[in-house]
């Protein structure tokens, strides 16, 4: 009987090590998870990936507007408060095809980016 008691005591620290390792692995996998796409349209994936990389949630409205102006994207009038609307043109490097989207950026009361929506837009002719 003493053998089984000592056995339980020696496996307790081992169980904690496994539990700690499992929790660490879960946290690491959660941190590496890709952001959810903002569109199900495969023709807009390139734009979605670009915006997700360059303008993560929490980006200021000023930074978003500066990003759009520097790249020469056409700004549109926003009809809702705390939004910025632009037409984004992009050449997808994987497909070498032009993509275009009407993007509505949505901001919180502190003017930090919450999310954005993508809708297909006509592409520009390639010159």
Distance CA 97, CA 30 (A): 32
pLDDT tens digits, 70-120: 999 999 999 999 999 999 998 878 888 888 999 999 999 999 999 999 999
Higher pLDDT, 29 or 97: 97
Query: What's the mean pLDDT in 19-38?
Result: 50
E strand or H helix at 25, and its extent? helix 2-32
Window from 26-30, 64-68, 91-95, 107-111 with minimum mean pLDDT: 26-30
* Phi, psi for 76 (deg, rounded to 5): -120, 160
């Amino acid at each position: 009987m003493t053998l089984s008691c000592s056995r339980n005591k020696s496996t307790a620290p081992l169980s904690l090590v496994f539990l700690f390792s499992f929790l660490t692995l879960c946290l690491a996998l959660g941190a590496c998870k890709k952001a959810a796409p903002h569109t199900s349209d495969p023709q807009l994936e390139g734009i979605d990936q670009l915006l997700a990389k360059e303008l993560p949630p929490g980006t200021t409205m000023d930074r978003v507007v500066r990003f759009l102006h520097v790249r020469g994207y056409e700004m549109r009038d926003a009809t809702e408060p705390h939004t910025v609307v632009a037409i984004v043109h992009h050449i997808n490097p994987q497909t070498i095809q032009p993509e275009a989207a009407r993007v509505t950026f949505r901001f919180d009361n502190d003017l930090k980016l919450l999310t954005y929506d993508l809708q297909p837009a006509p592409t520009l002719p390639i010159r």
